[in-house]
Amino acid sequence: MACDLKGKVAVLTGAGGGIGRAVAEMLAQEKMNIVLLGGNNPEKLAQTEKIIRQYTDFLTIPGNLTDMDFLTQAVEKAVTRFGGIDVLINNAGVAQNTAFADISEAEYDRIMAINTKVPFFLCQRALPFLKKSASATIINIASVVAHAGYPMQSVYTASKHALLGFTKSLARECYRDNIRVHAICPGGVYTDMVKISRPDLTADGMIMPEEIAEIVRFFLTNRGNAVIDEILVHRVNKEPFI
């Protein structure tokens, strides 16, 4: 059954570029109210704001996503502004290109915090409000490395395995509350993150962020009896995992 997204409220992290910006533009075109959460690059976030303001109303709440008090306050601000939360999209993430032997404790903690801890506790804080929505949806942007491991990406891979496992557990726990919880595991999306983790790759043959945004649109507009818990996205005629 197709769902009308107009007027619904979406909270989105990592909207400064790449997949996040493409998703933000798609949500705006659907006339959703959007909360852009966090962001450590004001200039990039401002570019996203410029794109979406022509379509819809939005609220930007800048801050440190790894600060648990910030997450609590941000959710409260979102609900105060728009009256509730219907959709939560955890897209913010960081990658690495560091040999296992050279990973510091600080780098480990940073990657695990942003890629795993933040989605976990943001979901927890948004859950009471999502339960009040008739079309509540959580989408966690994971990665193909949630299914495989690659050199120089040990912590990133561990964080995405954890995110995927958490997503599957939460989906089971929230199903009776009519909250759909999904994971998208893209491989080979040409974003700044991929440029960091795989500097040997070029844009040739890569998945574009807009293609992932279309998958997000599918999740949000289709709430029939067939529930998809995960979509693994491969490149065509290329090495499936990167």
Q: Which residues are catalytic?
A: 156
Q: How far apart are CA 62 and CA 83, in angstroms?
A: 20
Other C-beta atoms within 10 Å of 87: how many? 26
Structure tokens at 82: 């728009």
Question: Are residues 96 and 199 in contact, defined by beta-carbon separation less than 8 angstroms?
Answer: no
Q: Which residues pair with 103 in a beta bridge?
A: none
Question: Are residues 84 and 133 in contact, defined by beta-carbon separation less than 8 angstroms?
Answer: yes
Q: How far is CA 30 from the centre of its chain?
A: 18
**Burial level of 8, CB count in 10 A (0-12/13-18/19+)?**
buried
Other C-beta atoms within 10 Å of 97: how many? 14
